[in-house]
Amino acid sequence: MSTVAIDIRPANADDAASIAAVHDAAWRNAYRGLIPGRELERMIERRGPSWWSGALRRGSRVSLLMFGGEAVGYASSGRNRASTLAVGGEVYELYLKPEYQGLGLGRRLFNAARGELAGRGLIGASAWSLAGNDPACAFYARLGGKLAARGVEHFGDVTLEKFAYVWR
């Protein structure tokens, strides 16, 4: 019998390449066909290892999900950026490699991000998702998120609707 270790830990600059690999795989899976192809490729390309290394060195809070020693997911979090949402924290991003989705790992990662926010005294949380990203919207709803706001995001000449979910 073998056991696979699952761990969630704070990321550091040495994890930049691993986070970029998760970002690349997850974004291609989540947004292909939703975000225009050229814009999606530009966004993925911009978020390579050097971008992540810089973000982590500047103090970005990223929780890294390790499965059997491999980075398979991450969540970034911090202060809520939308003044219209009456919560203190925000889960900015939460992504898993596609082959690790649907196993309960996203829930664990989300709970870790919420714990990190609470540990900083940030009460409540929000998370945004593109309205057309049905799996993400369903995920946040299953976690008890309440639809609290709508907005738009521009990708080149395409405008897509987005939803804000909140947890109090």
Residue 85 identity = L
Amino acid 2: pLDDT: 72
Q: CA distances (Å), 58 to each of 15, 52, 91, in order?
A: 14, 10, 18
pLDDT digits (tens, 9 = 90+) for 84-116: 999 999 999 999 999 999 999 999 999 999 999
Which pLDDT score, from 0 to 100, does residue 140 have? 98
- Residue-level pLDDT at 3: 82
Coil, strand or helix: which one is 130?
A: strand
pLDDT of residue 27: 98
Per-residue pLDDT reduced to its tens digit, 22-75 = 999 999 999 999 999 999 999 999 999 999 999 999 999 999 999 999 999 999
pTM comes to: 0.96
Cα gap 53→104, rounded to integer Å: 28
In three-state form (DSSP H/G/I as H, E/B as E, the rest C), the secondary structure along 70-125 is: EEEEEEEEEECCCCCCCCCEEEEEEEECHHHCCCCHHHHHHHHHHHHHHHCCCCCE
How does pLDDT run across 5-25, given as a tens digit for each residue? 999 999 999 999 999 999 999
Under 8 Å CB-to-CB from 134, ≥6 apart: which residues? none
The pLDDT value given to residue 122: 98
Q: What's the pLDDT score for residue 47?
A: 97
